[in-house]
Amino acid sequence: MTEDHVRHLDFHVELADWSNESDRSRLIAVRQAVFIGEQRVPEELEWDELDATSQHVVALDSGTRDPVGCGRLTPDRSIGRIAVMPAWRKRGVGAALMRTLMENARARGLSSVTLHAQTHALEFYRSFGFVAEGDEYLEAGIPHQDMRATIAAPDTPDRTRAEFERHAINSLLEATQWLDRIAAQARHRLSIFSLDGDPALLGRLEFATEVQRVALSGRGALVRLLLRDTRRMARDGHRLLELSRRLPSFVEIRQVDVDESGLDDDAFVLDDSGGWYWQPRPDSTHAEASLHDPGRAAELSTRFEHHWQRAQPDPALRRLGL
For residue 128, is it within any domain? yes
Hey, what's the torsion of the CAs at 82, 85, 87, 89, to 10 degrees?
0
What are the tens digits of pLDDT across the range 85-141? 999 988 888 888 988 898 888 877 788 999 999 898 899 889 888 999 989 998 888
Q: Are 294 and 240 in contact (CB under 8 A)?
A: no
- Arithmetic mean of pLDDT over the chain: 84
Strands 78-84 and 112-118: parallel
Of 185, 186, 199, 246, the closest CA to residue 227 belongs to 199
Q: How many independent structural domains does the chain possess?
A: 2
Residues 108, 246 share a domain: no
For residue 78, is it within any domain? yes
Residues 218, 106 share a domain: no
66-81 average pLDDT score: 94
Domain span at residue 90? 3-150
Specify which residues 222 forms β-bridges with. 189
Neighbours of 2 (CB within 10 A): 12
The enclosing domain of 275 has a CATH number of: 3.30.870.10
For residue 47, is it within any domain? yes
The enclosing domain of 45 has a CATH number of: 3.40.630.30
For residue 159, is it within any domain? no
Residues 135, 21 share a domain: yes
Residues 305, 250 share a domain: yes
Q: Are 290 and 165 in contact (CB under 8 A)?
A: yes
Those residues whose C-beta lies under 8 Å from the C-beta of residue 318, and which sit 6 or more positions away, are none
Residues 273, 239 share a domain: yes
- C-alpha 256/C-alpha 303 separation (Å) is 12
Residues 62, 202 share a domain: no
- Please report the DSSP string for 42-92 in residue order: -HHHH--GGGGGSEEEEEEETTT--EEEEEEE-TTSEEEEEEE-GGGTTTT
Distances in Å between the Cα of 217 and the Cα atoms of 107, 155, 204, 222 are 23, 16, 20, 9
**pLDDT for position 99:** 85
For residue 245, is it within any domain? yes
Q: Are 211 and 269 in contact (CB under 8 A)?
A: no
What are the tens digits of pLDDT across the range 258-275? 666 556 788 999 998 889
**E strand intervals along 87-201:** 112-118, 131-139, 142-150, 167-169, 189-194
Tell me whether residue 318 is exposed, middle or buried, using C-beta atoms within 10 angstroms of its C-beta: 0 to 12, 13 to 18, 19 or more: exposed
Query: What is the model's pTM?
Result: 0.53
